[in-house]
Structure 1
Amino acid sequence: MDNNDILIRLRYALDIKDSDIVKIFHIDGVDLTIEEVRKMLIKSKDRDSLEDEALDDIEENRICSNDELESFLNGLIIFKRGKKDQNSDQPAKPVLSIKNKQNINNIVLKKLKIALSLTSEDMLDIFNEAGINVTKGELSALFRKEGHKHYKECGDKYARNFLKGLALKNRR
């Protein structure tokens, strides 16, 4: 899954309007227009199915970078939970934790857990909703710090099914 796909699935699962996505990006200091957001939300497979002349009529879709995705997730936390009281010893802006392509799904799960105030039991229920059985041990391994001996990389299958379960749970 690429960053645009994650953004598209999150938007659907949480039923977020385009104008709210712009606000969420803005909370963490990324200024995008609604047109730029809509370009991010174009599914790449939709573009693949079009004929060449129809493809020329569609504007290029905009790639969502790792920094933009993390800014969206940080903004989503503030959007859903409110601003945190600022201590003088904490930095004003959080340090970006997406360093490579491998840990994106782990960070998405961590930040969604925080933004939506989910417990481990809630997350297990969401996975079960999507038809995936995850144990508490497997779930805690996904949340461990990279480099920890019990750290497990979250594959696209887990992330995709979590977002699917979230959509099923929220859209009933």
Structure 2
Amino acid sequence: MINNDVLRSIRYMLDLGDQKLIDIARLADPAFDVDRDTVRAMLLREDEPGHVACSDEVLAHVLDGLIVHLRGREEGRPPRPVEKRISNNLVLKKLRVAFELTDADMHAIFDAAGFPVTKPELSALFRQAGHRNFRACGDQLLRNFLKGLTLRVRGGQASG
């Protein structure tokens, strides 16, 4: 899935302003720097003038910052290094951690989006890439998860 779509979904889901999105990204690494104009350009649709592609680095900072924002920082542990490559599986994992979702929560989210997933399918998404039962998370699956999570967070309203 395109990083910009994930960024837009998170912003809409949590009703975040541009500055709050920047603040969340900085929670992962205070030295990380992205300006408001760049964030606005990343939130534009691909066909709009001034659109800028959201890099894996920016999305990784936002996702890691979201974990700190929603769950707090782990005291006494050094911050985790930010991933260089972001896959749909990693987005799913980080959102699961950030929102403290159980397997039952995940199934309810997929069901709410009208995209039920079986227990084996769900567990395969969270396996290591080399595992024989690993399953890559497709764009449609991630899109439906984001839709269902938005319904859960916003209380039934999901359009963005």
- Normalised by the length of structure 2, the TM-score is 0.88
Q: Distance in 2 between matches of 1:67 and 1:34?
A: 16
SS in 2 for 1:61: coil
Aligned counterpart for 1:41 among listed residues 34, 40, 43: 43
Q: Distance in 2 between matches of 1:163 and 1:136?
A: 18
Q: Distance in 1 between matches of 2:82 and 2:132?
A: 23
1:50 aligned partner? none
Unaligned runs of 5+ in 2: 156-160
- Normalised by the length of structure 1, the TM-score is 0.82
2:158 aligned partner? none
Letter in 2 for 1:139: L
1:61-104 per-position Cα deviation (integer Å, ceiling 9, x unaligned): 222111211111111100111111224xxxx34234453xxx61
Counting only pairs closer than 5 Å after superposition, residues 132-143 of structure 1 correspond to structure 2 as: 132-143=115-126
Please report how far the alpha carbon of residue 15 of structure 1 lies from its aligned counterpart in structure 2 after TM superposition: 2.1
Unaligned runs of 5+ in 1: 48-57
Q: Distance in 2 between matches of 1:164 and 1:98?
A: 26
2:89/2:137 contact within 8 Å kept = yes
Aligned counterpart for 1:167 among listed residues 139, 150, 153: 150
1:4 aligned partner? 4
1:78 aligned partner? 68
1:104 aligned partner? 87
Q: Which structure: larger Rg?
A: 1
Letter in 2 for 1:113: R
2:23 aligned partner? 23
Letter in 1 for 2:151: L
Q: Distance in 2 between matches of 1:73 and 1:132?
A: 23
SS in 2 for 1:149: coil
Following superposition, which runs of at least 4 residues in structure 1 exceed 4 angstroms of deviation? none
Q: Distance in 1 between matches of 2:14 and 2:111?
A: 18
Question: Alignment RMSD, CA only?
Answer: 1.5
